[in-house]
Structure 1
Amino acid sequence: MTARRRPSRSRLIRRRVGVGALLALLVACGVYFPATLLAPIQPASAVVTSFKAPVETKLDLTFPSYGATAVEAVGFDDSLKTSGDSKPRSIASISKIVTALVVLDAKPLKGGSGPDITFTAADNALYAKYLAQDGEVAAMPIGLTLTERQVLQVALIKSANNYAGALANWAFGSNAGYVKAASAWLSEHHLDHTTLREPTGLNPGNTSTATDLVALGKLALANPDIAKIVSTKSLAVPGVGTVTNSNKLLGIDDVVGIKTGTLDQAGACLLFATREAIEGHTVTVVGVMLGGRDHDSLDADIQRLLAGVKAGFQTVDAVRVGDVYGTYATKWGDRAHAEAAEGVSRLVYGDVGVTAVPTLEKVGSARAGSTVGRLRVRIGGQTTTVPLKLDRPVTEPGAWWRITNPGEVF
């Protein structure tokens, strides 16, 4: 029987080395695979998409070369635009708007017609007084009784000076009482560049600035009684007859009031307001033009100005649903966009400035529709925040990518 040969020493060594290497490989695999498969992956950062602001309309307003003008789109930031001088100017019968507001502050109508006012001989004398000054007047027989509302109607619609004077005397007892009340009211409403010496406007010392008068116009429109009266074209008043509005622009180019003024020292003046529908929004514009040559040319200048104002409105679509503001791209091939979940549009006046600044989070794994950031949208002085959401999922890397990309994993 042949004896079995023993393996040589070198062969034993090689065998042991092989077994050790195999064991080492098995141990390494037992550590490497779990480590690569379970190691956390750094979340992906987004590449931000730059915002391109929409093109906006530039204001192109046609102002007259005379006097002083101001116009404002109510509720629109920085919309007050002016032309001409800024000093106080004589305002003629625009004074009657102050008179009406001061009287109603002391003796409000409260939705009705107010108390009765019976005209006396002193009231009747105002007719001759103001007629002698070439002022507008209306019949005022002694003993005629009208409501406070009716007196306001004649004073504002016909611009009858004797009715404005009688109303002030009725409410405050005398011109001095009226001036004291008017001064306090003007101060309370921060109309610091407006001075009233009497209630009608026949005194050229009744002065104001164009910007104060725009503020006055807004106060008048906010009073429903005055707003209704100044928008009335004509009205029959018992004992007086039919009174017709002195504002010839009323009802033209959406003009809804407010008050004319005419005086040698003031020229032709008009405090005006329009209310119109623009791209689904009701827009109010208040303006004033002082120092015109006559009312026909003044009205034409106001119409040119209003055409430019109307053309200055536009709806800015700053953000649309689905607009992309960031992109996530992972090293294992996923790609997703951060999209605006809501649109942002606003009616603006002129060039107001539009910005949109995204803030995006890092993303590990996330489902489609997950919120991954916010978009801060600023249009003029108004800011809106819009959520940014993924248009598709961002997933964890697969096992093969983890195993074959250790440098990215660890």
Structure 2
Amino acid sequence: MRKIAALLVALTLLFGTSAPAGAVSTSASSAVLMDVGSGRVLFEEDMHTPRPIASITKLMTALVAVEETSDLSQVITVEPEWLEGVEGSSLYLKAGDQLTLETLLYGLLLQSGNDAAQVIACWIGEDLEGFAQLMNEKARELGMSNTHFTNPSGLNQEEHYSSAYDMALLACACLGNPTVANICATQNISLEGRTFVNHNKLLWLEEDCVGMKTGYTEASGRTLVSAATRGAQTLVCVTLNDPDDWDDHQALLHYGFDTYPVTQLCGEGTTVGQAAVVGSVQPTVSLVAQGDCWYPLAEGEQLDMQLDVYSPLTAPIPAGTQVGTARWILDGEVVAGMPVETGTGVEDDRWKPNALVRWWMGLWGKSWETTVPGMGLI
């Protein structure tokens, strides 16, 4: 639909005049800190460079597995060929073992079992190549443009790589999947006679931590994806080749929460503006947000709101009709948006008695039900 000229409204979201609080740094080759709700990058170091990623690969393995197979109670019998070439961290699976997909997923994400990764991949994708294809399809869907997978475990291969930014996108997707998110947040669990303890020390070190995944190979160095939630805000942090990852993640998460707290831009049903109406004695209609919208802002940052309304708004218009979009702008860039709808209905009431008086009163912001001398209640 064609849009009329946008209304630009300055919001009073100014928290001060100073710049964001002191800079942080890491020991990583690549790093990124991202606000999950908005996707805003709060800190980065070389975040788009492709690098080996080791076992944080298993976040994609788990996400694909859960999306491909919703029934985690299915029992999987381990085939001998599925264990060929397995090395590194292991659940010590043997041919003929029978485990549920749920148990394998916990072993994958908590104990980082490479054998669990291969069993899941071969069971779902028929072989490692087939499952890698599913992983790459999901990567493209998520916009992971500097990523390519060749195996489900993260063991080093030349064409197996990702970037810190891409892994943050994957982490956000995993947090949006309740099954994967819940597994990543589990400190320890016993299933089918096996006990798994999460390798992610941040679950014990940081009270706000909600998981995600550790990794290490000689080629990649230490890799880590973490997530933390404080109030209405969730952050994800990714470091690649970081010898001091535990301390770096704690510092970055604290920096993000302290420097870029989320601010509510609108709430569901709150009025964000007015729009002109033709075909009615009511000259305008209030526009309300269809949902909640939050955005992280540092001290001194200010947003403008641009209200784009479809044209023309012609009566009659039922209440709750979507008629446009509210967009918030930071430094000339649209950073958030929310559909808006009519807060009340608008009738085509031009034919009704006293319509001209009603129109005139509307221009002056008077109530429609107003007593006018000599005319009574109109």
Q: Equivalents in 1 of 2:161, 2:142: separation in Å?
A: 16
**Which structure has the bigger radius of gyration?**
1
CA distance in structure 2 between the partners assigned to 1:305 and 1:186 by the alignment: 25
Distance 1:55 1:223, change over 3 A: closer
The gaps in structure 2 that reach 5 residues or longer are 1-9, 266-292, 307-325, 341-363, 365-378
1:285 paired residue number: 235
1:270 aligned residue: 224
Distance in 2, Cα, partners of 1:315 & 1:64: 24
Which amino acid is 1:150 matched to? T
Counterpart of 2:80 in structure 1 is 121
Amino acid at match of 2:70: P
Measure how far apart 1:178 and its partner are. Answer: 1.5
1:177 aligns with 2:130: yes
Other-structure match for 1:99: 61
Q: Tell me which residue corresponds to 2:113.
A: 160
Aligned counterpart, 2:302: 353
SS of 2:167 mapped into structure 1: helix
Relative to structure 1, the CA distance from residue 85 to residue 151 in structure 2 (aligned partners, 3 Å threshold; closer, same or farther) is: closer
Q: Counterparts in 2 of 1:35-54, with a 5 A limit?
A: 54=14
How many percent identity over aligned positions?
A: 25
Q: Is the 8 A contact 1:253 1:303 kept in 2?
A: no
Any idea what SS the aligned residue of 2:150 has? Answer: coil
- Structure with the larger helix share: 1
**Equivalent-residue separation in structure 1 for 2:305 and 2:257 (angstroms):** 27
TM-score (norm. length: structure 1): 0.61
In the TM superposition, 1:118-267 aligns within 5 A as 118-123=77-82, 125-126=83-84, 129-131=85-87, 135-205=88-158, 206-239=160-193, 241-251=194-204, 252-267=206-221
Q: CA deviation at 1:187?
A: 2.0
Q: Report the alpha carbon displacement of residue 274 of structure 1 after superposing the two structures with TM.
A: 0.7
- For the 8 Å contact 2:66–2:180, the answer to whether it is kept is no
CA deviations 1:330-350 (Å, max 9, x no partner) are xxxxxxxxxxxxxxx976432
Contact 2:35 2:296 in 1 (8 A): no
Q: What TM-score, normalized by structure 2, do the two folds share? A: 0.66
Work out the number of aligned pairs and report it.
287
What's 2:20 paired with?
59
Distance in 1 of aligned mates of 2:145 and 2:305: 39
Q: Write the letter of the residue equivalent to 1:180.
A: Q
- What SS does structure 2 have at the residue aligned with 1:159? coil
1:98: Cα distance to partner? 1.1
The answer on whether the counterparts of 1:354 and 1:377 sit within 8 Å (CA) in structure 2 is no
2:170, 2:11 → 1: CA distance? 41
**Residues 383, 301 of structure 1: CA spacing in aligned structure 2 closer, same or farther, 3 A cutoff?**
closer
